[in-house]
Structure formats: C-alpha cells, structure tokens
Amino acid sequence: MIHPLALAMACVLFAAPAADAPPETLVQKQVDAYNAHNLNAFVACYGEGIEFRTMDGKVGPEKGLAALRKGYGDLFARFPELKVKVLNRICQGAFVIDQDLAEGMGPAPVTITAIYEIAGGKIIHVWFIQ
C-alpha cells in the first residue's frame, strides 16, 4: 500500500506548475522531469499544440503532445543515462533560454541551447540552436 504522505509528495513534485507560476519554474520542472525520465511529468509541462522549431523558422515534423510523448519516450528508452545540466539560463517575459550540457547519448557531452516560449502555464514553442 502506498503511504499517503509519499503519494502527496509525488503529486507536489511532479504536478505541472500553476498557470501563474513564473516561466522559469515551468522550464525547471520539465528539466527535472527530463532528468528523471518521468515522461508523464515531462509531457504535462507542454501545451497541446507544442511545436519545435529551428532558428530559421522551420517547424519540426513532430507537433503536438502525442508526437512529443512518442519521441521522448523513445529517447528515454534508447538512452537510459541521458541527463542535462543547465549551464546558463536567461529569463525575460514569456521566454526562457537555457544552455544545457547533455550527457548519456554518446562518448562526449553535447551543448544544447533551447529557447522556450510559455503561455497559459505551458511551453508552447521550443527553438533549438544547433
């Protein structure tokens, strides 16, 4: 039987932040879920019509929560040691820019920069700088 206190703590730790939470709180929540490979908590941070874009404006072929769940579920399964460490974070208005160090996908860490746009308490767009 699950202890009620443990269940309450899990709900607090992995619940999506309130719509009025600062954007950086939401982005940190999704980083924490990513590192824990908690797919449900990760997906809960994103809006229904989530789009991933490149800096030249191209929208990735995978759009929406179903594609997000499938893509990241496959990623977490393929790379069980995958983690990111936030190196730098800039917050301005509805945008959060993270420079991350990703480890666990190969022999050397990879630097990734992501720009998140938040609206209504959800991440609605992500741009990756390659």
- HEC letters along the chain: CCCHHHHHHHHHHHCCCCCCCCHHHHHHHHHHHHHHCCHHHHHCCEEEEEEEEECCCCEEEEEHHHHHHHHHHHHHHHCCCCEEEEEEEEEECCEEEEEEEEECCCCCCEEEEEEEEEECCEEEEEEEEC
Q: In which domain, by residue range, is 71 found?
A: 4-129
Task: Give 8's pLDDT tier (boundaries 50, 70, 90).
Answer: very low
pTM of the model: 0.82
Q: How many domains does the chain have?
A: 1
Across the chain, mean pLDDT equals 87
Contact 14, 41 (CB under 8 A): yes
Percent of the chain with pLDDT over 70: 85
Q: What CATH number is associated with residue 21?
A: 3.10.450.50
pLDDT tier for residue 4 given thresholds of 50, 70 and 90: very low
Give the model confidence (pLDDT) of 68-97 as tens digits: 999 999 999 999 999 999 999 999 999 999
